[in-house]
Amino acid sequence: MTDSPWEYAPAPESRDIANLKPSYRMFVDGAFVDGGGEPLKSINPATEELLTEVSSAAESDVDDAVRAARRAFEHTWSTMPGRERAKYLFRIARLIQERARELAVLESLDNGKPINESRDADIPTAAAHFFHHAGWADKLGYAGYGPDPRPLGVAAQVIPWNFPLLMLAWKIAPALACGNTVVLKPAETTPLTALVFAEICQQAGLPPGVVNILPGAGDVGAALVAHPGVDKVAFTGSTEVGKQIQRSVAGSGKKLTLELGGKAANIVFDDAPLDQAVEGIVNGIFFNQGHVCCAGSRLLVQESIADELLEKLRVRVRTLRVGDPLDKNTDVGAINSAEQLTKITELAASGDAEGAQRWTSPCPLPGRGFFFSPTVFSDVQQSMRIAREEIFGPVLSVLTFRTPAEAIAKANNTPYGLSAGIWTEKGSRILWAAQRLRAGVVWANTFNRFDPTAPFGGYQESGFGREGGRAGLEAYLDV
Amino acid sequence: MSDDRTPERLAVAKTYKLYIGGAFPRSESGRVYPVHAADGTFLANAAHASRKDVRDAVAAARKAFGGWSGATAYNRGQVLFRIAEMLEGRRDQFAAEIAAAEGLSRKQGRSTVDASVDRMVWYAGWTDKISMVLGAANPVAGPYFSFSVPEPTGVVGVLAPPESALLGLISVVAPVIAAGNTCVVVASADRPLPAVTFAEVLATSDLPGGVVNVLTGRAAELGPWLAAHADVNALDPTGAPGPLRAELAQAAADTVKRVLPVRDEPDWTREPDLQRLRAFTEIKTVWHPVGT
């Protein structure tokens, strides 16, 4: 910020560490091959420059990949003792750690997220998921699903662009631990770290066909989940696409888990430590540019402290630095795509039109690339689109309440139910509220915490099934 | 049911009705359909529930959900055990009804009732163990206390199995309510009478009205309304024929309903496992920082 007494010198991370190649190919049956689809052009959302070309899959490639996964499932992976599978997963986890800096830079280039987040959150947590599940591979009999739970077979996995490598880890680690093989489709705009992960699979000596990566757009995902050779479908993404997938697998006998959208309520009671709450609110909605399905996008503040909290919040949000994702000082990076920027802009405009009060951080934005200033809407009513629809961007909607019961009623007034936050010094109130909130994850006096041992997943239209912990194994076992 | 020993006495025929919100209304549509014994004798006219009855039943189930899911596990266990007690007390009546419906001998009928009672007792004992067995304290890497608890999914639409009029019915209803859900059950169309009598057991066993609602009618007619209803959170399509199951699963997608995966109708005499308890349970994970 120009009027700040604290000027930061740029602290850019070198993009050379990403080892960016002029082109990337899909990964099928242990080899990198050209796909039959139109190549994807991967661009850097922070600069709009072309990063690289990625071959994409055609329907015949889906067929090949599923067949390779089936062969690997039947002949090597499901018949291998769990202790051997465990060692492969340990190897993969270590290789992710070894190449962590490379993966972090590549992720930030491809996705637009700040390097401090890809470096300190995404990549370490991805490695942690492989470590955690490595330990399960030879202990499945102790997971509470009977003494000898069986794998399902070939898992079709479709993941979003907001946490490309982390979502891959959430999907692939439990699938492999339980003895399944996978065909994974990364998001159209963020396929690169998945293809470096394929190299890691090669370096780990993973048998061919156990992991297959098919870059492509929604049509490839649709063909993959509908493929008759698939036994299990796992999807993370929008509720709209999740519903289509649920329809397409209906009656097929495929096991399905969905991690969909959210409109989380972050509830601040009048006895909350306000400075701490402000940090949690900022983390809840501006982490990863708000491209988080469990983002705390609805702030519910007790009326008596609303003015004070909002003032503190605006002061804090003004200090967020929006800009180059590779700069280590950047707090908020680039919006992932032009399309997403348009969606955010359009939904924010509906907030103006419906009478909410918009406040936008006066931070400077880069001249090029897709950026959106951190934005806070106050005077929001429950009926407004910005209170009901997932914006998936750095836009916070603020509502107020008077009593704890009203807070719960407003928090639960949504078809979603992924996450929620509670801020209060009163322990009994935390447990009271946590019991009543219809959400899969409840953060009390914190927000956006993830761990491979803690199950994550939604209620209602935020999807079904859990990822992480013992509960997460069910998705990949025939039980 | 006529009694052979007193042929000169005319039996009081029973009118079988629906069970919604703890009351026994007729179908709002005024429709009934004839129910016959396995040997073809006319037994009764059962209420032929309509779409409106489905909606009323869902509303009753939703209304009952807060109280039932909020009751202590101990209390829910007591109520389920009480259901078993009331079933036990009506063994002979059920044995006769099942024998007629399923074409079994009295002895076979009685052993089916015994199995039904035992199943209810089995699930009664689970109410206060679900959290212990399915929940977890999560050893996260950081200064947080994180724990996961299973919670009931909400209102469950249940299509009861067509063949097993009582044991099948109890095998699908007991896990749903043991986990703290409320439900709307469509009874077996051809063998609905034990289900209505079971509703009488529920009505006299401390189960709050609306926790279980029993509709008699056609699964093919009522199932799609349950599957599409936005206030139904989950669906057990066990009693639907294969093609209808797929259709229901498709309709359920519009509201991202949980649909119990069903391949074939299970063998109800087999020991149950946790699958049906898990299927209608959500895992909620709560995080709290730890520090001084």
Q: What is the mean pLDDT of residues A3-9?
A: 72
ipTM above 0.90, yes or no: yes
Distance CA A14, CA B284 (A): 41
Instruction: Confirm whether A1 is domain-assigned.
Output: no
CATH of the domain at A327: 3.40.309.10
Question: CA of A417: which chain B residue's CA is closest?
Answer: B284
**Same domain for A418 and A282:** yes
Q: What is the pLDDT of residues A456-477, one digit of tens each?
A: 999 999 999 999 999 999 999 9
Chain A residues in contact with B139 (beta carbon < 8 A): 453
Cβ–Cβ below 8 Å for A440 and B282: yes
Average pLDDT, chain B: 95
pLDDT at A161 over 70: yes
Domain hosting A467: range is 15-260+459-478
Distance CA A441, CA A449 (A): 10
Chain A CB contacts of B282 below 8 Å = 440, 459
- Work out the average pLDDT over B152-165: 96
Q: How confident is the model at residue B5 (pLDDT cuts 50, 70, 90)?
A: low
pLDDT at B265 over 90: no
> A279, A419, A460, A461: which to substitute to probe chain B, counting the most B Cβ within 10 Å?
A460
Q: Please report the pLDDT score of residue A433 as a whole number.
A: 98
pLDDT tens digits for B53-66? 999 999 999 999 99
How many residue pairs bridge chain A and chain B with CB atoms within 8 Å of each other?
Answer: 114
Say what angle helices B106-124 and B91-102 make with each other, to 10 degrees.
Answer: 120
Q: Is the pLDDT of residue B106 over 50?
A: yes
pLDDT at position A48, please?
96
Report yes or no: A242 and A112 within 8 Å, Cβ to Cβ: no
| Nearest C-alpha neighbor of B21 from the set B62, B51, B50, B49 | B62
A248-274 residues labelled b (16+ CB within 10 A) or e (exposed): bbbbbebbbbbbbbbbbbbbbbbebeb
Tell me the pLDDT of chain A averaged across its residues. Answer: 97
Side chain identity at residue A255, one-letter code: K
Q: Specify whether A67 is located in the same domain as A180.
A: yes
Q: Does residue A28 sit in the same domain as residue A143?
A: yes
Q: Angle, nearest 10°, between helix axes A192-203 and A82-98?
A: 120
Closest residue by Cα to residue A188 from A166, A236, A221: A221
- A280 with A242, same domain: the answer is no
Q: Are residues A134 and A202 in the same domain?
A: yes
List the domain boundaries for chain B. Answer: 17-289
Is the model's pLDDT at A370 over the cut of 70? yes
Q: Give me the residue label for tokens 């949504």.
A: A414
Count CB-CB contacts under 10 A for residue B132: 11
The answer on pLDDT for A3 being more than 90 is no
Contact B138 A459 (CB under 8 A): no
Contact between A449 and B146 using a beta-carbon 8 Å cutoff: yes
For residue A1, the model assigns a pLDDT of 47
How close A423 comes to chain B (CA, Å)? 10
Residue A451 within a domain: no
Task: Give the residue-averaged pLDDT of B153-164.
Answer: 97
B254 touches A at CB < 8 Å: yes
Find residue B150's DSSP bridge partners.
B283
Residue A231 shares a structural domain with residue A274: no
pLDDT in tens, A107-156: 999 999 999 999 999 999 999 999 999 999 999 999 999 999 999 999 99
Residue numbers in B near A264 (CB within 8 A): none
What's the rounded mean pLDDT across residues A357-377? 97
Per-residue pLDDT for A49 more than 70?
A: yes
- SS3 sequence of A64-85: HHHHHHHHHHHHHHCCCCHHHH
In a domain, A10, yes or no: no
List, for residues A379-406, the tens digit of each pLDDT value. 999 999 999 999 999 999 999 999 999 9
> H/E element holding B199?
helix B193-203
Candidate from A244, A415, A451 with C-beta closest to B138:
A451
A110 and A212: one domain? yes
A439/chain B closest Cα distance in angstroms? 7
What is the structure's pLDDT at B135?
97
Does residue A71 sit in the same domain as residue A209? yes
Tell me how many domains chain A contains.
Answer: 2
Question: Quick one: A33 exposed, middle or buried, by C-beta within 10 A (0-12, 13-18, 19+)?
Answer: middle
Nearest to B135 by CA among B274, B289, B229, B228: B274
Is residue A183 located within the same domain as residue A246?
yes
Dihedral over Cα of A169, A175, A178, A182: its sign: negative
The yes-or-no answer on residue A102 being catalytic is no
Q: What is the mean pLDDT of residues A316-329?
A: 96
CATH says B17-289 is which class? alpha beta
CB B78 within 8 A of CB B59: no
Residues A189 and A213 in one domain: yes
Please indicate, yes or no, whether residues A323 and A285 belong to a single structural domain of this protein.
yes
Q: What is the tens place of the pLDDT at every residue in A32-45? A: 999 999 999 999 99
**To the nearest 10°, the Cα dihedral for A335, A340, A342, A347?**
-100
Q: Looking at the predicted structure, is the pLDDT value of residue A8 above 90?
A: no
From A259, A390, A467, A474, active-site residue:
A259
Residue A1 C-beta-side C-alpha neighbours within 13 Å: 16
- Closest CB to A451: pick one of B140, B263, B288: B140
pLDDT digits (tens, 9 = 90+) for A254-301: 999 999 999 999 999 999 999 999 999 999 999 999 999 999 999 999
The answer, as to whether pTM is greater than 0.90, is yes
CA distances B73 to A269, A436, B190, Å, are 29, 16, 35
Indicate if A230 and A294 belong to the same structural domain.
no
Place of tokens 């009671």: A269
Residue B8 pLDDT exceeds 90: no
Q: What is the pLDDT of residues A70-95, one digit of tens each?
A: 999 999 999 999 999 999 999 999 99
Using 50, 70 and 90 to split pLDDT, how confident is the model at B189?
Answer: very high
Contacts of B231 in chain A (CB under 8 A): none
Is B132 part of the contact surface with chain A (CB cutoff 8 Å)? no
